[in-house]
Structures are given as C-alpha cells and as structure tokens.
Structure 1
C-alpha cells in the first residue's frame, strides 16, 4: 500500500465540510444582505439609477435582478391564492363602458349624448346609488378643473365664474353626507407650483370676520372658486377673510357679488402672503388624516397634487388618491394607502388613498392607528401595511376577467343606473334592482375614453377602479399580504445556502455516473421545489410573503461551488481507484473504495473467480485482418466487462481473448458465487443478442467458454514500484482456468467447481459433469455445468435433465449397459454433448471393465500457465 498516500474518508469529509460551511456562510450573508435591503414600495424605472461599475452600482444591479426574480415568484403565489379565494361582493363596480356611452348617445337626454357627462348627472348617479342602498360611493374621476359646462353670469368681471355644474354636483353630494368620496391624484416627480405673486393683486377686499377656521374656510372657498387669492388674517380671537383684487372697483363688485355690501378695500401688504390660502391648502384641510404610531417621514413624499376643483370641496365628502404606481416591470401589485405632502416645505400632511378614505367613512371614524405592521381604521377594520404606507393587494381571483369587474364579484353598467335615475326623476318606478344594500360602490370609467388599463399579477387589462375596489375589499375583510421582516428573508437565504452546501456534500458521490448526475441535480431541484412549495403554503394559508428568489440563488450557488470543490478533492481518489482496479470499475465499487481505501489492502478471503475465452480465437486471428480483428476483440471485451461491472464484479486482466474476473473484493459480499454465475448467464445472453450484428459486421460468430471456481484467494494491490495491479492469486484461479479449458472436452460452455455449485444452488441449476482429481490436490472434486436460473426450464429440458441424472447414477453404479443406453437417448433426444462423452466411456468400460476399486474419478494435470 505504498501508493495510497491519500487522506482517509473521514479527513476528506472534514475538509469538504469546512469549505462548504465557509462558502455557504459567504453566499448566504451576501445574498441575504441584498434580499434584506429591499425597497418596500414601487420604484419607477425613471428613479432607478443606470448601470454603474461602482460598488453601489453593482449592488443596485444585483438587487434589481433579485427583485425581478422575486416578483415572478410573488405573482405565482398570488395566483395560487386567488384560486382558493372567492370574489368579494362587498364592493360593486359601476362601469361607464362603451355600451353605456352608445346607449347614452341614442337616449332621450341630450345632455348625456357627449362624454364627459355633466357633473350634475354624475352627482345624480351618486345620489341614486345611495338611495338604492350603497353604503358609500367612490368617484374614480379627478376634477382638477372647472366643469366645461361652467356658466358665466354677465354681472361678473370675466376674471372668474362660478360653475353651476360644479355647484350642482357639490349640492347633490351634500344631500348624502359622509357617503361619497372624491378622487385626487398625485405625482412623485416635478416641482411644486408656487402661488401667484402679490403684484397681480395690488388690492384686497374684506369679506367678513369669523370666529373659527371652519367658517372662515367656507368663505375662503367661495373666493377661491372665483379664482381670486384668499387670505385668512387673524383678528383678535377670530379670522378675517380677504380677497385679492386688481383695483378698488373690482373689489366693490366682488363684495357685492359675494353679499358684502360695505366691503373694506385696502392696499395689499407684503405680510399678507403669510396668511394666503391656496386651493391646495383648502383641500389639505379637508383631506389630511392623522395617524398615530407612524412616522410621517417614512411615507412616500409626493410633489404634485391634482385635487378636485374648489367648488367641489366640502366637508360632507371624503377625499382619496387614485394613483396606483407600478413596479419597474409595469405591474401593479399594491396600493399606497398613505402618502405625505409638504406644500412649499411647510407642514407635512398625510393623505389617504381612495379605498382608505371610503373605509374611514364606513367605519365612521377619522382615527387611524399603525401598529405591528397593520393600519387600523378605528376599531372596525385593519389592513397590512408597511411603514412607507404601501399595502400589497390580496387578489381574490386567479385571473383577470374580460369584463369590467376585474377581481370583484359584480359590476353594473352605468346605463342601468342612469335609467333608474331618469325613472325616479320622472316619478316612475326604477326598472332595475341592483341589490346594493350595505355595499360599497365605486363609479369608474372603463370605456375607450378611460386611461389605459393596468397590468396586475392576475393578468393585464384591469381597470383602475377595479383595482381600487379590490383594495377596499381587502380593508373591509381586514385581509391582505404581509411581507415578513427583512431578518426573516435573510435567515431564509442563509439557511438555504447551508442546505445547498449540505446536499452537495452529501450526494456528490452520485456524480460518478450519468444517471447519478441526473439524480444529483434532481435532489437539488427537489430541495428548491420544496422550499418554493413551503413559501407558497405560507403565502396562501398565512398571507406571509417570504423571499424565494434570493434563497434559491444562495442555495444554487452554494450547491454548485461545493460540488466543484468536492469533485476536485475526490479526483485523486478516483484516479487511484481506476488505476488500481481498472478503467471499468463500477461506480458502486469505486464509491465504497473511495470511502474506505483499506478495502484495497492485501488479504486472504473467500471469493469466486471467472475465466473465459473465445473458442477458436487462434484460428480466427490467423484469418481476420488486424483492422477487423481488433474491433471485434474490443467489442467482445467491452461487452464482457460491462456484464462483470453490472454484477458488481472486478475485471482482473485481459490475456489476449481471455478475461479473468472475480467477485468478493475489494467490496466484500457473501453472494460472490451467485454473482459469478449470473455474469456467466448474462454474457451468454449478450452473445446471443449480438451474434447477428457481429456476423454481419465481421463475418464470424463467437462462442465463449468459461470456468468458475470458489475458494480462499489472496487479493490486493500487487506489483512493483513501477507497475502494480489489484489482482488475485490462489488455487481457485488455476481451477477456473482448467474448467474453462475442459469445456472443449465436454462440449459445454460454463463449468463450475464443486464449492461454487454448492453456494449458488439455491438460485441456479447445476448438473454434475465429472469427478476429477487435480495434481497436488489430496481429494477429487466434482465439476458441474451451469444450466440456468431456477424456474426458467421447460418441461422438455427438465425431462432431459432427469434422464441424464438417471444415466449418471447407473454409470457410477457400474451398470454400463443401462448407462450407455440412457446416455445415448440423452444425446439423440436432447442433443446433450456431455452424454455423448459418457456413451464412449461406457463403451470402453463394457469392452474393458474397470478394476474393483474404480470410483469414476478422472485425473487432471496442472497446466504450466495456471496461477496458484
């Protein structure tokens, strides 16, 4: 064993274990940090920095890749959850679709023949929906400008006009206080618009004094509706409302128009700008909410607002944002329920989404509380939300529908609501029963005039209003998706890195064969699939979003690197095994030897040996040219070696056309005799199958003779320092050679020794062929022919075997006449070559009877080539 200068299996395992733990920790930490440093809200593509070779640029690029992969797995889980959900009927969509517009153009009312409809009609629809039982109506329409149907009275100066259409909408909404929510939009980019400077309005007119800000704001609203600047200037315990005008005449006219007959007109002062009230200030006073337990600094800050025009602002309605930012891939996955806005760098205001504003109206509260990752609306509703105000949507459908309703259970055509409105205005019974009792309604536009539909995890083509409706349904059911804490994602990433390293370390031995490599990869894929399934279960059943892409990447990288390292460290062991045992050693044997190289040490053990050669090969070698002979021989030896390998045997050597193989070393087994017999039968089957091909290719058929024997043999790595070989030595090797040669005498193909036949008789059928005495052996042995496996003989074959046994019994009983006749029948009826040999022996014994001490034993001489 001088050449076995390799570490033990235990020490090699410790080395691989240490390496795998280190690299698993490395990948787990790096990827875990990337996964944990996630952006909680959608980031617009314009906000994402371009590729950079700086460290921060590389980190951003890697984070982008991970986030992209994570979104794919997130969308899959969302659809899985949708398949197990029921569409909500607590929110109903009222859709202004193309059919509604077509009906309106052909309808009796000229004012709705063109879209957009008058705001008075929209207010009538809201009032009608409330009358039909709607608990709250959300208008998914932004009205940042006065109605195009505004009416200007001749008495006005032309600088501004009250819109009767807007006033009518406000008046209709006021009929149902706290049951309507108007929409506004926001933008995260751009610059804030500053109010006009004082030079445009050099004078100011006093319009009244009020005890509190509420009354003062109502008065200021009428000023702002005329597109004049309004000022709320403190005066004692109250507030005075002033309006900016161009001159004194315009001031008197404005005062008369607003019902102030003795208006005080003064020059405007620079200090007045500190008390100026802009339309946005009035809007913020109505729309802002207070949230306890939440840091407003962490909310997304918006820079632009498109709020309802001033005449539409009133205290009887709520106000919510309809802006739905998409992720970098253009998919809307959630709603920012809260955003922050700081006009001109002043006080920070918190603004709600349209669904949140509606939920506050339904809960009858203005109190919001943030705790433990959930936003609580009073004591009635709550929804998962992160500290930035962003809430992931739980979609209650696996795919988007073709209609307007999207993930919701129902949608109603706005035309049906209009018909009900017209019926009631005409004092007729409403023709449609929409079953809206206690349900929230969102009035939205899904026609060709509507903004482009949005892409969502459940598919494209979903209207903005349907998404907002789903968000409100989540709030009303206090349901949603919660993303686990960043530390949990990091722990999952690190855990899967160690799992990947462990799998590679534990199953790297499978890489020694193609099928094993497939299984090896399958183990890794199964582990990854198991984690994905577990993450899916957690998502569907617990509404918890745990990272998938990052942990899978960490597991894959740790698995790959550990595999490469383990493969390289085992290369020396594999080289030794193949150099000692041969190139065709089976993977199982190689694996066991690699684990315990002590199996290669020389020792004496009981084994079975097999020796075979091609019948008539010498004559064949003289007739075939080398370019045909060598391929034929190589093909035969390859097939023979494959059979030995398939039966866990070891090829010792090739001697011309002969093959010496053994079983029972280097891996111990008690079934070495069975395996040797199985190899002999399998080789005969392979020869029978390949004969037609070989005959066609080489022009010759091959016949193989083999001998098998079992005994105590010396086995081990033997040879010189220059060349050595793992081989066997002993009497059984020589006996196997003599048995192989004796096949020619008996006309058999496989002869086995007595010990082999005894050990394998439970699974294979043998028959005694002869009793021989080998030189230098004290006792004779019986040699047998291997006939086949038990249970695989036909009736005719069994009859032939019985006849042979009867003849052999008569032969050793010295009844040579009977034996000769029985052997003759075996040869004629069953084509038995061994029987023909005994017919000749019986004839000789009949002519010259053997002596009285005759025992039927034939004496063999040892061949010079025998190894023992």
Structure 2
C-alpha cells in the first residue's frame, strides 16, 4: 500500500510547472478526473512554494548582497526635490526623455558598465525637448530624438525596456490610413542601412517599404499624393525622388515598427526549442525614434505565480507577430548581460543558459529562471535585495554640475558596475511580492536577476524523477517506521514517542532538503514527499493497529482451544501458578522443511488445510506427552515440558514427543501426498536449561510462556539440521538427562558468540533397545571415526566417515569427510580442539 501511495503522489509531484501558468493551460472541470488531478497538483504546488520560500530565506541568511548591480531610484524624495528646485523642466513628472538620456550618459561617465532603463516608451514623448536637437521635425519627436542621441553617445552601454502580455489576442501591426502613392528615398547595399533609413520614415508616422532591387534594398515611403511625395523627399534629403503609385504587392515588403524592433531585440539561442518557450501575444516596445543598434532591448515583465509571488524571471519568451516566424526575446537583465559580455551568442545546455563564454544561469527549457535572493528579507528603502541604491536626485545634481562645468558633488563609485534606473516613487507601478517579503520594486527584482547572471548562479530545480523517487522513498520510510515502532502505541508515553519518531523523520528530510538547497542551490521537492511519508505513516499505523488487534484475538482464541486441560484445571485452582518463576525445563522447537517453497507452490485453499492438519498432529503429540504448546510461528511450533505441572522427566518427554511426531508424520505422508500432492518433513531442536516461566505480557495481551537461553539454543539447533542433514538435534544437557532411555550421538562441538565455553551438539537417534544390528554397527563405526577425528588422525577418520556415508547413508559423516579433506590439505595448529564457530564455515576452527 505504501508503494502504491508513494508512486501515485510521486507521479503528481513529478508532473509540475516550474514557472507561472500559461494562458493556454485552461483548467479542467474540478469534478472530472483531470480536474481532480490538476486540483491536487495545484494544492501540492502551493505547499511546495511555502517550503521553497522558507529555503530561499535560509539561503539569504548565508548570502552576501551583490554590489555588482546598483539601483538608481526615482523616489518620492527625488520628486519632491525636483519640484522645489529651480529647474522647471523636471518640476513635473514624468520628466522629459532628454533628461533621462542625460542621466544615462552621466552614469556611464561615472563608470557604469551598462545602464538599464526600467521604463517603457511605447508612445512618442508628450513633452517638449529641453534643448531642441534639430529643426524640421515636430516637437513631439524631438524629445525622443534627444534621448536617442544621448544614448548613442555611449553605444553598447544602454538597455531599453519593453513589456509583453501573454493573455488576450495577438497584436497585429496597425494598417493605418491608405497611402495610394510611394516615394523612393534611397537604395542601400545591406539590410542594416536600409532599416535605419526605414526607421526615419516610421518616425514620421508613415509606412515604410523595403523592396529588393537586385542585390540592393530600396526604401520607399507611403504618401497621399505626388506633391506630398516631393515634399517628403526634400525633407528626407532626397532630391528628385521617384514617385509611383502603390501596388497591392508592396504590402509584402512593408516594414512595421514592430518589425524593426524584433530585428534589433530578438536573439538566437543554440540548443533551445522555441516551441517550448512562453508565447507572448502583445508587445509594448520603445517608440520608433528610440530604436537603434547602439542599445539593447529587454523585457521587464515579471509574471507572478498563482499565489501572487514573484519567484523568478522569464529570461526568454517567444513572439510570433503574424502567427508565423517565432522571435525569441530576452529579459532586461539578460540583454544587459549580453552587452556586458560583448556577445549576441546564447547557448542552452544541461539546464543552463550560457551568455557567450562569460556568464551562465540556470534556466528551464521554457526560458524561466528561479531567482537566488541574496537577502533573507527586503530592507526598507528602494534597494530590495541589492547592496546599494542611489537617489536619482544625486545623479541629477551631478548631471547639472557637469553641464555647468562645476565639480560634481557625489562620488557614486560606479566603476565597472551595472546600473538599473527605475521608479520607486508613489507614481511607480505596483510593487512586487517576493519570497523575501512584499513591497519590492520591479527594478530591484530585475537587478537581482542580473546579479545572478553576473555571478553565474541561481536555483536549479531537481529533475522530476528525483522528486518522484524522494516521494516514493519517504512513503516507504513512513510505512517502515510505522511498522517498526507500532509497539510504542501500547501506552500514552509510547504513543507520544511514536509521533515524535514520525516528526523527527519528516524534520530530518526537510533539513536535508534545506541543506542541499542552501549549499548546492538545488530545489528538491518537500511538500509532496512529506505528505506521502505522513499519510503512508498514518495509513500503515492504522493497518498495524488493526492487524495487532486481529492477531491478539486470534492468539486468545487459539489459546482457549489448544491450552492443556491440566493447565486449565491448575490455574482454576491456583492463579498464582501463572506468576513468573525460574525452573529447569526442556524446550522443543520445530518447523516444516521447505515450507517457503511449499507455500509458493500451493494455493491458499490447499496450503491452509495442510498447515492446520500438521499443527493439529503436532499439538496432539505435545499434549499426549504432558507438554504445553507455547506458540505457533507460521509453520513453526514451540512447546515446553516441566511447567506448570512439575516433572523431572521433561527431557525424556520432549525426546519422546519428537520421535512420536516423526512417526505420526510418516503415517500421514501417503494421505497428505494424495490429498495435497506433497509430503512434509520436519526438523526440530531440543534444549534443556533454567527458564523463566509464567504468565507474561502486557495488560492487553499475556501468555503462559517461557524465556531463557535454552529457547534460543533450541532455535539454533533446529536451524542447524539443514547444515548436517539431520532431523532432531539436542543440546548436551538434554542428552545427559535422557541418555538412560534414548540413544544420542555427538554431532559437533560448537562455540556460540554469547557463550564463553564450547557446547556439544547431539542427534536424537531413537529409543534404547529399538535398533537393528546394522544400525548399531553404523553408530559404532561413526563413534570410532569421531574418535580418530578428535585425535587428529584425519586420514583414518576420513576413511571411516566415508564408510559411514557409503554403507549407512549417514549425512553427518559426509560433512566430516569434507572437513577432514580440508584439514589434511591444511593441517590445523597445535592447539586445535575441533571446536567450530557457528555462523561461519564449518572449517573455521578455533
């Protein structure tokens, strides 16, 4: 049951979604099988996220905040200072984009290796430019041109933001008004120059066309009439421009702003299947005047998990504007890392995204990376998990100082560091809830993602099969603990310890998973395995408790049926007989030879009647010899003589019972073979010693039973029959007490681990006076061979033992033939006494 339960939960745990849910993942109805599985999986994922957040905070406790990424924050204090300051252009927010470009340029001058702008500019600037950049263009585009011009002063040092949406319908390029004419604005030898020219057309809110002309590309712009075409040609610096009527076929060569953006922002990733990436349906990219190869472009969208917590960043997404070619777009941190590495080469292998040969970060095949938060909790202020943040007002003051040729006021120590310029004021978008706390700015999350890339670290999710094996393993452990410690449930204190065992096992697993997470940054499932282990523990506990009740009822029932009438009468007269006392007694233990094989061969409806018949015969023999059946252990029977009715002939009675049982079995063999198709062979062990006897047990269960060394020795003797090929082995004390009526022969001298002195083992051969001359001759020959053996005359002993085996079919003699052969080949030391250690090979002499 534990195996089945663990497998089912393991499959659910392995069927997981690492990142946020996709829009196309429509939930099934809850009452359907798939809906139930989805609901259970979602419930397990919710619990797993709780343990994940706890481990993230533990990792943050031992991590050091990164100083490689610095946050420049437009906070409320900055806006207040700007509003009260003398510069009117920044008194109202949002500021002109030229000011933002000046801040970027200033940060690069102060040593920033790359500056990320956490601002999307999907529309033309609504503000006038502070300082006009050129004439002939509308004021609405001059502010964007100014920003672009400032960014172009530091090529490769800026990354602009765009946003995407994964829900809703796909955004198509706008068709706009009809343009019946087109004007030719130039021919260019390569696509880069042609796109640059087309970008200037698009900035004027006109359609652009890239039409092949041999090996060159011609750039055309749509116009309303020929006069507008000539005016546009002059404005764009093309005199006597060719003007033609627009054809329907031109639409195939039309270039939309999104096309230019995709050409600049998309990346190629070796080893990654774009079909597995999250497909976005809507884009908000920078307005056309801001597009340039001098800047990188990355997404700032941070989707949250179903519980509203941001735990990672989708570094790569796919976009197909017309449902055709897929473009792979990077996140803002990834685009910044590509700029820092000076490469456009991305490679995905073994669960990691490699940025050139410089950086790498763990990422799944869907483009999603879990963040390694380098703080246990978010500090008050804008920096979040980062080591430093700078007020944008300080950067502005440095910018104004440099523009006015004054010494700058602040040393920001930005040399070689990446900077993210973000808004953390009251005007900022909604702040993010993260594993380390709520209220973290979007830019701080992106900064942490870049810090992970620059350090080439992150969180790696363990393979699904590891989580599945952990779930199944904990189910087995839970079941094993419940079975192993169910005996503790017999008392209130024991029940408390029983629960503590389960809690300790669960805590141990959580601790191990936490250790792997903190030291190896590997996320192994916790919630699923804990539920699997806990429920398996509970179910197995209920099963064990019920089984113990059934066994107790069966034992009480069996004791009532098979208890000796003598015991019943004596106990009725004197209950004190059930009290424990120590006396010399003889213990008998037997089992059916080859019962495991027999139980596999017979169906239950035949095996149970056969076993019941054997136990009935055994019980009858024991009661007939004044013995007591102590217990049945599967196919084994344990009996004793000498209590509660005292007798000095307990050893005789045990030997008599052994012989009678073999006689009864021999008589029943033809019937059993006919009825069940099998014959039974029994092996037995008998030993005598001082035993504790009486009514022993708990309040819930007690038996009239015996305890002592002789019980264990009887079990060892019974098991040793298989080694010697004998039927009944007895201890030395039993052989001495019953030697006047029964014939024994010495089989071996053994040393037990729990006894300081060697013990002689004997075989019960039969009653005195019942041996044929041939049998007596075989016994005499064996005794002669044994004497030669202990006299170290191994050659003579081997020959005599060989004769015993050949002439009398003696299995014990065959054992000694092999033993003599080894001793002849390797003579023993001078102090050899023939004693062997049980549990090792028979030649392992002391």
Specify the TM-score bucket, using the shorter chain as the normaliser: 0.5 to 0.7
Which residue of structure 1 lines up, in the alignment, with residue 543 of structure 2?
565
Q: 1:227 to 1:505 in 2, by over 3 A?
A: same
Which residue of structure 1 lines up, in the alignment, with residue 258 of structure 2?
280
For residue 192 of structure 1, report the CA deviation from its aligned partner.
Answer: 2.5
- SS of residue paired to 2:426: coil
Which residue of structure 2 lines up, in the alignment, with residue 606 of structure 1?
581
| 2:191 aligns with one of 213, 217, 242 | 213
- SS of residue paired to 2:439: strand
Q: 1:406 to 1:715 in 2, by over 3 A?
A: closer
Which residue of structure 1 lines up, in the alignment, with residue 312 of structure 2?
334
Say whether 1:530 aligns with 2:508.
yes
Which residue of structure 2 lines up, in the alignment, with residue 439 of structure 1?
417
| 1:381 aligns with one of 337, 353, 359 | 359
For residue 519 of structure 1, report the CA deviation from its aligned partner.
Answer: 1.1
Alpha-carbon distance in structure 2 between the residues aligned to 1:196 and 1:441 = 35
Alpha-carbon distance in structure 1 between the residues aligned to 2:693 and 2:486 = 33
Which residue of structure 1 lines up, in the alignment, with residue 637 of structure 2?
none
8 Å Cα contact 1:198-1:270 kept in structure 2: no
Which residue of structure 2 lines up, in the alignment, with residue 231 of structure 1?
209
Q: 1:51 to 1:401 in 2, by over 3 A?
A: farther
Say whether 1:462 aligns with 2:437.
no
8 Å Cα contact 1:299-1:389 kept in structure 2: yes
Say whether 1:415 aligns with 2:410.
no
Alpha-carbon distance in structure 2 between the residues aligned to 1:35 and 1:725 = 46
Q: 1:541 to 1:725 in 2, by over 3 A?
A: closer
For residue 571 of structure 1, report the CA deviation from its aligned partner.
Answer: 0.5
Alpha-carbon distance in structure 2 between the residues aligned to 1:715 and 1:505 = 28
Which residue of structure 1 lines up, in the alignment, with residue 155 of structure 2?
177
8 Å Cα contact 2:96-2:128 kept in structure 1: no
Q: 1:184 to 1:574 in 2, by over 3 A?
A: same
Which residue of structure 2 lines up, in the alignment, with residue 139 of structure 1?
117
Alpha-carbon distance in structure 1 between the residues aligned to 2:443 and 2:253 = 38
8 Å Cα contact 2:59-2:517 kept in structure 1: yes
1:71-470 matched pairs, under 5 angstroms: 71-150=49-128, 163-197=141-175, 200-470=178-448
8 Å Cα contact 1:231-1:276 kept in structure 2: yes
For residue 572 of structure 1, report the CA deviation from its aligned partner.
Answer: 2.9
Q: 1:523 to 1:251 in 2, by over 3 A?
A: same
- SS of residue paired to 2:448: helix
Alpha-carbon distance in structure 1 between the residues aligned to 2:111 and 2:472 = 54
Q: 1:44 to 1:450 in 2, by over 3 A?
A: farther
- SS of residue paired to 2:160: strand
Which residue of structure 2 lines up, in the alignment, with residue 849 of structure 1?
none
- SS of residue paired to 2:104: helix
Say whether 1:542 aligns with 2:520.
yes
For residue 204 of structure 1, report the CA deviation from its aligned partner.
Answer: 1.3
8 Å Cα contact 2:209-2:219 kept in structure 1: yes
Which residue of structure 2 lines up, in the alignment, with residue 479 of structure 1?
457
Which residue of structure 2 lines up, in the alignment, with residue 815 of structure 1?
none
8 Å Cα contact 1:134-1:441 kept in structure 2: yes
Alpha-carbon distance in structure 2 between the residues aligned to 1:493 and 1:712 = 48
- SS of residue paired to 1:164: helix
For residue 162 of structure 1, report the CA deviation from its aligned partner.
Answer: 5.8
Alpha-carbon distance in structure 1 between the residues aligned to 2:580 and 2:68 = 82
For residue 509 of structure 1, report the CA deviation from its aligned partner.
Answer: 1.2
For residue 340 of structure 1, report the CA deviation from its aligned partner.
Answer: 0.7
Q: 1:151 to 1:138 in 2, by over 3 A?
A: closer
Alpha-carbon distance in structure 1 between the residues aligned to 2:558 and 2:4 = 39
For residue 53 of structure 1, report the CA deviation from its aligned partner.
Answer: 0.9
For residue 346 of structure 1, report the CA deviation from its aligned partner.
Answer: 2.3
- SS of residue paired to 2:485: helix
Say whether 1:69 aligns with 2:47.
yes
8 Å Cα contact 2:125-2:141 kept in structure 1: yes
| More moved, 239-248 vs 391-400 | 239-248
5+ residue gaps, structure 1 = 1-22, 583-599, 609-664, 667-710, 718-723, 729-868
- SS of residue paired to 1:356: helix
Alpha-carbon distance in structure 2 between the residues aligned to 1:496 and 1:518 = 21
- SS of residue paired to 1:343: coil
8 Å Cα contact 1:96-1:415 kept in structure 2: yes
**In the TM superposition, what whole-angstrom CA distance separates every residue of 1:76-120 from its partner, at most 9, and x where no partner exists?**
000000000010000000000000000000111100000000000
Alpha-carbon distance in structure 2 between the residues aligned to 1:59 and 1:451 = 36
1:469-508 matched pairs, under 5 angstroms: 469-508=447-486
Alpha-carbon distance in structure 1 between the residues aligned to 2:702 and 2:49 = 59
Alpha-carbon distance in structure 2 between the residues aligned to 1:444 and 1:195 = 29
Larger radius of gyration: 1
Alpha-carbon distance in structure 2 between the residues aligned to 1:536 and 1:383 = 21
Number of equivalenced pairs: 581
- SS of residue paired to 2:212: strand
For residue 578 of structure 1, report the CA deviation from its aligned partner.
Answer: 8.3
- SS of residue paired to 2:322: helix
8 Å Cα contact 2:125-2:140 kept in structure 1: no
For residue 402 of structure 1, report the CA deviation from its aligned partner.
Answer: 1.1
Q: 1:363 to 1:343 in 2, by over 3 A?
A: same
For residue 200 of structure 1, report the CA deviation from its aligned partner.
Answer: 1.5
| 1:58 aligns with one of 31, 36, 48 | 36
For residue 525 of structure 1, report the CA deviation from its aligned partner.
Answer: 0.9
- SS of residue paired to 1:262: coil
For residue 194 of structure 1, report the CA deviation from its aligned partner.
Answer: 2.7
| 2:12 aligns with one of 20, 24, 34 | 34
For residue 256 of structure 1, report the CA deviation from its aligned partner.
Answer: 1.6
5+ residue gaps, structure 2 = 561-574, 584-642, 645-689, 706-846
Instruction: Give the TM-score normalised by the residue count of structure 2.
Output: 0.66
For residue 561 of structure 1, report the CA deviation from its aligned partner.
Answer: 1.2
8 Å Cα contact 2:695-2:703 kept in structure 1: yes
| More moved, 298-307 vs 262-271 | 262-271
- SS of residue paired to 2:360: strand
Q: 1:574 to 1:465 in 2, by over 3 A?
A: same
Alpha-carbon distance in structure 2 between the residues aligned to 1:240 and 1:108 = 49
**In the TM superposition, what whole-angstrom CA distance separates every residue of 1:470-520 from its partner, at most 9, and x where no partner exists?**
000000110100001111111111111111111111111111112111111
- SS of residue paired to 1:344: coil
Q: 1:117 to 1:581 in 2, by over 3 A?
A: farther
- SS of residue paired to 1:335: strand
1:779-794 matched pairs, under 5 angstroms: none
For residue 267 of structure 1, report the CA deviation from its aligned partner.
Answer: 1.5
Alpha-carbon distance in structure 2 between the residues aligned to 1:714 and 1:233 = 107
Alpha-carbon distance in structure 2 between the residues aligned to 1:516 and 1:77 = 33
**In the TM superposition, what whole-angstrom CA distance separates every residue of 1:666-720 from its partner, at most 9, and x where no partner exists?**
9xxxxxxxxxxxxxxxxxxxxxxxxxxxxxxxxxxxxxxxxxxxx9998469xxx
**In the TM superposition, what whole-angstrom CA distance separates every residue of 1:279-316 from its partner, at most 9, and x where no partner exists?**
00000111111111111111111111100000000111
8 Å Cα contact 2:201-2:221 kept in structure 1: yes
**In the TM superposition, what whole-angstrom CA distance separates every residue of 1:398-427 from its partner, at most 9, and x where no partner exists?**
001110000000000000000000001010
| More moved, 81-90 vs 243-252 | 243-252
**In the TM superposition, what whole-angstrom CA distance separates every residue of 1:33-69 from its partner, at most 9, and x where no partner exists?**
1111111221169955265211110110001000000
Alpha-carbon distance in structure 1 between the residues aligned to 2:580 and 2:176 = 111
1:517-666 matched pairs, under 5 angstroms: 517-575=495-553, 606=581
8 Å Cα contact 1:150-1:166 kept in structure 2: no
- SS of residue paired to 2:475: helix
